[in-house]
Chains A and B, each alone.
Chain A
Amino acid sequence: MSRREKIWWVVGGVVIVVYALFPIAWIVSLSLKAPADLNNGQFLPTGLSWENYSLILTGGASDLFLPALRNSFGICLIATAISCLLAMFAAYAIARLDFPGKKLILSTALAVAIFPVISIVTPLFNLWRQIGLYDTWPGLIIPYLSLTLPISIWTMSAFFREIPWEMEQAAQVDGATTWQAFRKVIVPLAAPGVFTTAIIAFFIAWNDFLYGISLTSTSAARPVPAALGLFSGASQFVEPTGAIAAAAVIVTIPVVVLVLIFQRRIVAGLTNGAVKG
């Protein structure tokens, strides 16, 4: 690469990073502004103020925010775990076995994934109210599974397909049952795939707004994105912008932490050395 090319790459990279991070910087800056400072027309706050954070964590909005945070964590983690476990078995079967209806399952999964959520939320609302799932954790976990499962099955079956068949056959010849071969050879090899899928699934559930706002009514199950929409200012003349920005920063943190923790596990090429080459 010539010097000139290098410079272009660097410039291009900086432009993209700035473009992508600008909204985040803006939210951080907003969250640090005092209420009177919000509309000052400047990008940076005139003075650092933690008022917004104290408002949502300990102040008036904490009744709304803290239970929502707890709900979000609980619901998303459970939905992710169930979806990963189910997707692991489904993807393994899809990648390894030849059974009638395989194509059907995959295309149905895809169809579910692209089905507009808004069109099923109303019937779901009625159904949930009648069977008592409205405003409960399972009432959100189940629809979240419908969001996360298709994508989990697709990504994981791609990962499983990359594991050489011989690994498993070798294990069977070595004396393993099908289950042992799956558990001791396939699962460890698929771990990067499982983690990647888990992160994607968690994000999808974490970011959901529509189900969250429609299928909950109290802090019993309301997740953070829905709670953010319900923030109100100190009076009806004050916009809750600062509080929302602070909450947005706080809910971004777990996502960043999650990626940092797992990025080491998402190492491509773990199967290196399994086969020739």
Chain B
Amino acid sequence: MASIEMNQIVKKYGDGFPAVNDVSLDIADGEFMILVGPSGCGKSTLLRMIVGLEDITSGDMVIGGTRVNDKAPRDRNLSMVFQNYALYPHLSVYENIAFPLRLAKTSEDEVRRRVNEAADVLELHEHLERKPANLSGGQRQRVAMGRAIVRQAEAFLFDEPLSNLDAKLRGQMRTEIARLQRRLGITTVYVTHDQTEAMTLGDRVCVLRKGKIQQVASPRELYEQPVNLFVAGFIGSPPMNFLPAEVNGDTLTTPFGAIELDERRAAAVAGKELLLVGIRPEYFEDASLVDEAKRPLGSVFTARVDVTEWLGDSQFAYIPYEAPEAIQQKLADLSRELDSEALRTQAIVSIDSTSRIREGRDAEFWLDSRKVHVFDPETGDNLTRDAEAGAELTRLASEDRIEQVQEARSESQSISGDDRAGAA
């Protein structure tokens, strides 16, 4: 177990294109770090540089206090789960898991013990003698994890391990990975483009865009205090709505009426003209269902609903709006960068599932203005980000993590202690 420090890592390909550009990131011992971003953002390249499958153009990669830039993958003692599992088809499941141990010339007894341990954890016992070709996708995935956990690696690296599984299995394996990591308390770097995995698994999430780090923070901070338009748009599903807004003193004029800003945020946006307001779908509500006590905290506006989607536990309404040409272009660029396609400017609004708002009719909505963020459309910067509140969220998360890791370690110690007592 070790920490991983990256210092101004750059990866340039032959044509001079920087796939990873000046990335500095510290991953603490036992931390679960997620690398996330749209396709082509350099997240996999960064992971492959950590493990040593990709050369580092410049910068320092330090694992457990030693610089490993020039070390071969086998000397770094990391284990990795590949996107397509990369199991050895000519070997049985048992031999697949035992493979790293055999290379390390571990004694036969030790191999048997360790493989059985890994098989216990991953419930692979009845499959040990089978060949990978005869296993289902989820079982292959577990074998790949078994091969990773069977030796005492410094860190686990996952390269989109769940992207080949169907949705249901993905959910199960996700919790399985979370449980495994908490239990083993091993430093983990996990690459994904999936929102849910990023938000649920990570202690901290690193959002990458075109090879550059945008923000490294706990999922909560990313969600509530995004640093720019890109992070705000990337994190959250359905995504944050961006509305054009004009500043008039401490109010913003948007297609959905005026939004009052508090003093701090009003000061932050003073002097600007055209801005983008970021409002998460759940900050909206059907006005008729809002408590009288809550009502004054936001603003009420009327809009025509285009489409509604009722999902049982929640309901989404789509409200089209007009935006100036320049803003439309910006939003189209942003959504293309986020791997999605915005065909029209519309807001996605989450309303209570009992709401009777109907498609094609005008309806009254309430908008909670306390949590809206205001972005500069030119630079994409979040003008109203409360860095302190964000840092506090991440600090709380890291406290939780440290506690969990310590718990996991003391537990595993007490287990091995029991073993010893039992053996005696």
CA distance A171 to B80 in the complex (A): 10
Q: Which positions in A face B, CB cutoff 8 Å?
A: 164, 166-167, 169-177, 180, 185, 188-189, 270-277
What residues of B have a CB within 8 angstroms of the CB of A166 in the complex? 82-84, 86
CA distance A169 to B81 in the complex (A): 11
Given A173-B51, A173-B73, A173-B74; A275-B104 close (CB under 8 Å) = no
B24-32, B128-136, B267-275, B381-389 - the one binding chain A: B128-136
Q: What 0/1 readout, one digit per residue, does chain B (211-246) give for beta carbons within 8 Å of chain A?
A: 000000000000000000000000000000000000
Q: Is A274 a contact of B103 with CB atoms below 8 Å? A: no
Closest to B150 in A: A174
Q: Is A189 a contact of B89 with CB atoms below 8 Å? A: yes
Given A164-B84, A273-B140, A275-B85; A172-B90 close (CB under 8 Å) = no
CA distance A167 to B151 in the complex (A): 18
What residues of A have a CB within 8 angstroms of the CB of B283 in the complex? none
In the complex, whether B59 has a CB less than 8 A from a CB of chain A is: no
Closest to B133 in A: A273
Q: Which positions in B face A, CB cutoff 8 Å?
A: 51-53, 72-74, 77-80, 82-90, 99-100, 103-104, 131-135, 137, 140, 147, 151, 164
Cβ distance B94 to chain A, nearest Cβ, rounded Å: 15
Given A169-B73, A189-B90; A276-B100 close (CB under 8 Å) = no
Cβ distance B126 to chain A, nearest Cβ, rounded Å: 17
Q: Is B100 a contact of A174 with CB atoms below 8 Å? A: yes
Q: Is B89 a contact of A271 with CB atoms below 8 Å? A: yes
Given A164-B84, A169-B53; A273-B164 close (CB under 8 Å) = no
What residues of A have a CB within 8 angstroms of the CB of B88 in the complex? 167, 170-171, 185, 189, 274
Contact of B85 (CB < 8 Å), options: A172, A188, A276? A276
Q: List 19 A-B contacts (CB under 8 A).
A: A164-B86, A166-B86, A167-B88, A169-B82, A169-B86, A170-B147, A172-B53, A173-B53, A173-B78, A173-B79, A173-B80, A175-B100, A175-B104, A176-B74, A185-B88, A273-B87, A273-B89, A273-B140, A276-B83
Q: Is B147 a contact of A276 with CB atoms below 8 Å? A: no
Cβ distance A191 to chain B, nearest Cβ, rounded Å: 8
Closest to A272 in B: B133
